[in-house]
Chain A
Amino acid sequence: MTAATTGRDETLTWKLGGRSPDEIAINTTVDQRITRDWAWAGATGESVRVCVVDSGVQGDNPLVGPIQGSYALAGEDPGSEPTVVETEAEDAYGHGTACASIIRRIAPQCKLYSMRVLGKVGGGTGAALLAGLRWAVEQRFDVINLSLSTTRPQFDRELRALADQAYFQNTIMVASAHNTPVESFPWRYSSVISVGSHSQNDSDFVLANTRPPVEFFARGSAVPVAGLDGKPTRNTGNSFATPHITGRCALILGKHPGLTPFQLKTILYLTSDNVRGGA
């Protein structure tokens, strides 16, 4: 396919694809005091509030551990905004539970919350995503994991404003790039941290992308995750790369509370495995 046939800029990259990490090596002269040891060594994500906006998170799953709060959308009128209610810690799809288990593995002592925007009630639309995300931003969580996006342009403006609101209140929004090179939101905004996949069999391996729109690549292939019966499965897709970055953000914020999204993104960049000379 050419740019003419796809209608998009072919120089933009969504995922690492067949390239090796060495092909996107970045040499930097930035201060080398920002190291992985400085950034998160010894950290557990303790006291960092992380919200998984997804299909819900199963509450009694041993690979996820305790959930501090579970919320969902409710509302019968399709013409009005859904409301948010506290709900049972359930997940009919298993997707949110899988994402939560990755975050828990990386930041074992973070405080996990669930906002269900897909599933039983009021889910599956850009409006549900917007409503759930708005609630999460209003709750001022430290980190929001969003392994979802909407392709519907009518939500672009409101989602962008919401992402900006999160950015300026120091809520870190970590968002999955779409698996295929289509335009979707909100991962496309510079105010969020966007994540695509690499195929390395290493959950600690993170790459900074030299070509936008995706900013970071994390493990998205054969990722060990929690199944709905509490036993591990292995999942593949950008959805599962994103919680790796969410977990890392929780570690860094646990050790260095109060960082702004700008500062945190810089630390993620300088500690990426393909950035040489920084960390």
Chain B
Amino acid sequence: MTRDDSTALMAAAVAAALAGPGPELSAARRELLVSIVSVARAVFGAAAGSILLIDERTGELVFEATAGEGEEHLVGNRFPSDQGIAGWVAATGEAMIVDDLAASAVFARDVAERTRYVPDSIMAAPVTCAGVVLGVLEVLDPAPQSRSSLGDLDLLTLLAGQAGIALRGVARDAVVRPDPGGPEPDYERLVDLIRLYLGWDRPRQAAGFRLLETLGSVLSAAGQ
């Protein structure tokens, strides 16, 4: 991550935190996501479908909408986003299909623990909004003709794009996705300080800012 990039992300995080709690997934939006999953499941003749969103604070993927096998218990379930097929799609923003999974003992055990359903085939496409990956639209065990179809992968990507539009303005955390390799930024304490600053009158703000600038210079010099 470049310094500019890092700075922009931190600024976005602070702005988002100052704005207070973001809008929750409304019932209507959640209904739309479920509808998109259901359409995907029907179009590809799949056993199940899910939309998983990235929880930036925990680095996990969370089931937000499901249809078919496992739909009763999956919503709210979480698993690490740095592994597996859905994790790959979330990390790269690239769609893919993996077929013939039944022979994979490793994969089957992993998926079974999470979903109580063991698929033989997975199609997955990124849910994006304004170029930012918010999550993954996943279809389990599509009909055989879809399991290696580049055209069907394109279609799933289009449906995932609709989910991204449905989420516009909701998943603001995805915009401030921190570098997984970096330390957890202590935004909350920083925001508390900024709130305190904003509550002061103008002269006190100016004096406070000068103090912060001086402190910044001292810390910068000490770090060199």
Contacts and interface: CB of A to CB of B under 8 A. Distances in A.
A92 interface: yes
Nearest to B90: A124
Residue among A77, A93, A120 with most chain B CB within 10 A: A93
A122 B154 CA distance: 29
Nearest to A184: B93
Interface stretch (B178-186, B194-202, B207-215): B178-186
Contact of B131 (A92, A95, A128, A151): A151
B95 A237 contact: yes
A178 B103 contact: no
Contacts of A236: 96-99, 147-150, 153
Contacts of A34: none
Contacts of A227: 101, 103-104, 106-107
Interface residues of A, number: 54
B82 A235 contact: no
A73 B104 CA distance: 29
Interface string B65-100: 000000000000000001111011001111111111
A94 B83 CA distance: 8
Contacts of A182: 131
Given A78-B6, A234-B99, A229 B82 contact: no
B93 A229 contact: no
Interface in A69-86: 73-79, 82
A148 interface: yes
B104 A233 contact: yes
Contact of A179 (B1, B157, B179): B157
B4 interface: yes
Interface string B1-16: 1111111000000000
Interface in A41-86: 55, 73-79, 82
B6 A79 contact: yes
A170 interface: no
A74 B182 CA distance: 9
A274 interface: no
B222 interface: no
B181 A121 contact: yes
B96 A78 contact: no
Interface string B136-153: 000000000001111101
B105 interface: yes
Interface string A23-50: 0000000000000000000000000000
A177 to B, nearest CB: 10
A268 interface: no
Nearest to B105: A229
A73 to B, nearest CB: 7
A235 B98 CA distance: 4
A84 to B, nearest CB: 12
B213 to A, nearest CB: 19
A122 B179 contact: yes
Contacts of B101: 227, 233
B88 A93 contact: yes
B91 A123 contact: yes
Given A77-B183, A78-B183, A123-B180, 15 more contacts: A93-B83, A93-B85, A93-B91, A94-B84, A118-B92, A120-B82, A121-B180, A127-B5, A128-B181, A221-B149, A222-B99, A227-B103, A233-B100, A234-B98, A236-B148
Q: Which 3 A-B pairs have the closest CB atoms?
A: A122-B181, A78-B182, A222-B148
Interface of A: 15, 17-18, 55, 73-79, 82, 92-95, 118-128, 148, 151-152, 154-155, 176, 178-180, 182, 197, 199, 220-222, 227-229, 231-239
13 contacts: A75-B181, A75-B182, A76-B181, A93-B88, A118-B88, A122-B180, A127-B5, A128-B1, A199-B148, A222-B148, A233-B99, A233-B104, A239-B96
